[in-house]
Copies of this chain bind each other. A is one copy, B any other.
Amino acid sequence: MTSASNDPRWLTAEQRVAWLHMVRVLTRLPATLDAQLERDAGLSFFEYHVLSMLSETSDHTLRLSRLAQLTSSSLSRLSNVVKRLEAQGLLRREPDPDDRRASRAVLTGLGLAAVEQAAPGHVTTVRDLVVDALDDAQLDHLRVAHERILERLDPSSATRPDWFDN
């Protein structure tokens, strides 16, 4: 026999090329987004993401456990970051009236102003690096591929925002 049957199936040359490209994007894109936001707004991408998720809800409020899902972070990491953001006055924590174990994070006016100030530069960076690098068809193909991947990464769609209709 030429190969044991429990070999992992290696990648073909084409698959390997595609994967190695993806790894480079996966490592460089977040670093670049972080650098821009840190430089222009004093926020990490993760902090921006947290504030941004809050700003999308109608009452600017989310339970910490939900916020952890939406940002794909551990509760421990989120707890630390929320504490820092609270110390900066960008949000505040309040007990959840419906469940006394839980806390809710509420965006403050200062926090909303911070996201709104940071957003234009961030959007410009996203355009420069991704959206404007692709034509409409290519961006749509990228969306489809990401949807397929997300079905594997997150079958329950727990990380998908509720307001995300599509």
Which A residues are within 8 Å of any B CB, using their own CB?
Answer: 7-11, 14-15, 17-32, 49, 71-72, 119-121, 123-124, 126-131, 133-134, 136, 138-154, 159-161, 164, 166
Contact = CB atoms under 8 A, between A and B. Distances in A.
Nearest to A124: B8
A10 B123 contact: yes
Given A131-B11, A147-B21, A149-B133, A28 B139 contact: no
Contacts of A145: 134, 138-139, 141-142, 145
B120 A7 contact: yes
Contacts of A152: 128-130, 133
Tallying the copies of this chain within the complex gives 2
Interface of A is mostly: helix
A52 to B, nearest CB: 10
Nearest to A161: B20
A151 B133 contact: yes
9 contacts: A11-B123, A11-B127, A19-B130, A20-B161, A24-B154, A133-B148, A134-B145, A138-B148, A145-B145
Contacts of A127: 8-9, 11
A161 B49 CA distance: 32
B150 A24 contact: yes
A74 to B, nearest CB: 9
Contacts of A8: 119-121, 123-124, 127
